[in-house]
Amino acid sequence: MRVTFLGTGTSQGVPRIGCGCAVCSSTDPRDSRTRCSLYIQTPEVSWVVDTGADFRTQCLRAGVKRVDAALFTHAHADHVMGFDDLRPFCAMGNALPVYGSADTLAQLASTFSFVFDPVVRIPGYLHPAPVEVKGRFKLGAVEITPLRLPHGRTESMGYMMRIGGRPLFAYLTDCKTVPEEVEAEVAGVRHLVIDALREKPHPTHLSTGEALEVIERVNPESAWLTHLCHDHSHVEIEARLPERVRVAYDGLVLEMD
């Protein structure tokens, strides 16, 4: 399994419009962060997790040519507003499976009614096939477990991915806490990706310190911080992290056997 981080930034991205802070002015490419998204490839199937407003640019930058499905964590704007850019992956009018909670799928269908409604959908255009995630499911050889995460007034859905029973990859973005049952599900995973918005506490996201506490309990082989704002640069954050914890960045690729 190959995981490419298409985006690792917060809802406004980094640099932020109109901001001249040191991070927004940084020349380190790792400080330039588009909205959070993943591209995951296996020999059998390829899929994305979330399609934020930067999705088209992200696909071009990463050379994405095949998407067989789209998974969604939740329907906030920074995670869905590039949905229409899935259009090239529906060649010849083929339906594209779109996975998410019932609430997320309902919000997608409301926002993008012109592709979900068969009465108004244009033939040959984007053709989503909604799949409500109620429990574990498979994409190719990858078994995916949905993980419900508190995110302010709503829920975000994390995903745990296994191949042959081996816990390879867990994605926990946009969450304020990680429930005990979720920590138990992802314990000992090879790669844990976790929300770590900023140093200061936030009402709907984990802070860096809170994320590190979760990492300590979960004990992954390695952990990656994501959904970062412009409070601290990549170099500054990594300089004070434990050895097995790193900062994810746009374009980072993880290879898993």
Over residues 42-81, the pLDDT tens digits come to: 999 999 999 999 999 999 999 999 999 999 999 999 999 9
Record the tokens describing residue 80, joined without a space.
């869905």
Residue 193: per-residue pLDDT: 98
If we measure between CA atoms, which residue out of 39, 115, 118 comes closest to residue 84?
115
Tens digit of each residue's pLDDT (9 = 90 or more) over 72-84: 999 999 999 999 9
Is pLDDT larger for residue 171 or for residue 123? Answer: 171
What is the pLDDT at residue 124?
82
In a domain, 257, yes or no: no
Q: Residue 255 domain-assigned? A: no
Instruction: Name the pLDDT band for 110 (thresholds 50, 70, 90).
Output: very high
Query: How far is it, in rounded angstroms, from Cα 30 to Cα 157?
Result: 26
Position 151 scores a pLDDT of: 98
Domain coverage including residue 48? 2-250
pLDDT digits (tens, 9 = 90+) for 231-242: 999 999 999 999
Q: What is the pTM of this model?
A: 0.97
Write the DSSP assignment of 36-76 as a string of letters.
PEEEEE-SS-EEEE---TTHHHHHHHHT----SEEE-S---
3-state secondary structure of 207: coil
User: Looking up tokens 């746009």, which residue turns up?
Assistant: 250
**Residue 137 confidence (pLDDT):** 98
Average pLDDT over residues 211-238: 97
The more confidently predicted of residues 125 and 148 is 148
Given pLDDT bands bounded at 50, 70 and 90, which one contains residue 166? very high
Decide if pLDDT at 93 tops 80: no
92: pLDDT strictly greater than 70: no
**The pLDDT value given to residue 178:** 98
| Structural domain contains residue 256 | no
Domain total of the chain:
1
Whether 253 has a pLDDT exceeding 90, the answer reads yes
Q: What is the chain's mean pLDDT, rounded?
A: 97
Contact 183, 217 (CB under 8 A): yes
What's the rounded mean pLDDT across residues 189-202?
Answer: 97
Q: Report the percentage of the chain scoring pLDDT > 90.
A: 95
- Residue 158's pLDDT band (cuts 50, 70, 90): very high
| DSSP secondary structure, 113-138, as one string | HHHH-TTTPPTTS--EEEEE--S-EE
Tell me the CATH number at 187: 3.60.15.10
Confidence of residue 97 (pLDDT cuts 50, 70, 90): very high
Phi first, then psi, for residue 41 (nearest 5°) are -125, 140
Q: Among the listed ranges 3-17, 30-44, 79-93, 173-187, which one has the minimum average pLDDT value? A: 79-93
